[in-house]
Amino acid sequence: MVLSKPRKRYRSLEERRRIVEEALAPGASVAEVARAHGVNANLVFHWRKLYHAGLLSNPQTDAVQFLPVRVEAKRKNKKRCGADATAERNGAVEVSLANSQVRIVGKVNEEVVRVVLECLLA
């Protein structure tokens, strides 16, 4: 009488991913899911670690991912960053770049304030 070991069953990436996703469902027990599929719970925990690391994905189907893109119209009358030579000379503008802080003291030309703010927001 010759006794042979049962052969290990090979699980595809898709099968592993499906089992892990079932185990990750709210209220699911890894031990119960493993038992239902005939695998050791430690193996499901290992697959779960691989799943979270992104290693249980199919490279042929998951290789390309698109991101949402929004196209905006080009701004009109866009001014160059810098002060205008004809701007009023009275008043002051103070800019602290550590936290993008702007301080205006006295009378300042509106155009100068607009240009400074556009440069900071660009």
Angle at 81 between CA 80 and CA 83, to 5 degrees: 100
Report residue 58: phi and psi, to 5°.
-85, 115
Q: Taking the model in full, what pTM does it have? A: 0.45
- Decide: helix, strand or coil at residue 101: strand
Interval 46-104: pLDDT, tens: 999 999 988 887 666 555 667 787 888 776 665 555 555 555 566 676 777 656 777 77
Q: Domains in the chain and their CATH numbers?
A: 13-59 (1.10.10), 92-121 (no CATH)
Indicate whether 29 pLDDT > 70: yes
Q: What is the pLDDT of residue 66?
A: 74
Interval 31-50: pLDDT, tens: 999 999 999 999 999 999 99
Q: What is the pLDDT of residue 31?
A: 96
